[in-house]
Amino acid sequence: MRELKFRAWDDEHKTWVYFSMVQLMSHYDTDQMHNADEDLTWIRGHDWFQFTGILDKNGKEIYEGDILLLPDTDTEHILDDGSGPTNPFNHLAPVVFENGSFGLKLPSSGNMWDAGFHTFIDLFSEGENETIEVIGNLHENPELLE
């Protein structure tokens, strides 16, 4: 069983605070949640983003709210049969938790992936875990999705 890990964005210090459920529960004291190194009381009013349990191609942990790059291809449909040359195409998509699963919500379609929600199980059955890369997150890099 994997450890339940989270992070929360500290807007004042412009940094992520990482913590585990075990850490929170072991330091729970009536109305105060705290850690020996840092007071975590403030996380009650912030959004928590859960670790998916998955690493990207570089070994980086993937959390909800991360923006991932997912390689794909796109075909220029220039021939009468709808085929043509294939061009590299990258999806940029946020990690979301939907219908009980972590996955990506793709804004557009390519040759391999249609627009919409795809669970990590679907993506990894196609071997994509070796190509997915964390390139940012919704708090620090929202412009990546514009």
Query: How much is the pLDDT for 38?
Result: 54
Q: Are residues 114 and 69 in the same domain?
A: yes
Range of the domain at 122: 63-145
Q: Are residues 70 and 133 in the same domain?
A: yes
Query: How much is the pLDDT for 27?
Result: 57
Digit-by-digit pLDDT tens for the chain (146 residues) are 677 899 988 888 888 988 888 777 665 544 444 444 455 666 677 788 999 999 999 999 999 999 999 988 877 666 677 666 778 888 899 999 999 999 999 998 888 888 999 999 888 776 656 789 999 999 999 999 88
- Residue 55 lies inside a defined structural domain of this protein: no
Q: Are 86 and 74 in contact (CB under 8 A)?
A: yes
Element (H, E) at 124: helix 120-125
Query: Which residues are CB-contacts of 134 (< 8 A; sequence separation ≥ 6)?
Result: 56, 58, 60, 62, 66, 67, 68
- Residue 51 lies inside a defined structural domain of this protein: no
Query: How much is the pLDDT for 66?
Result: 97
Q: Are residues 141 and 77 in the same domain?
A: yes
Q: Are residues 85 and 129 in the same domain?
A: yes
- Residue 121 lies inside a defined structural domain of this protein: yes
Query: How much is the pLDDT for 131?
Result: 84
Query: How much is the pLDDT for 63?
Result: 97
Query: How much is the pLDDT for 34?
Result: 43
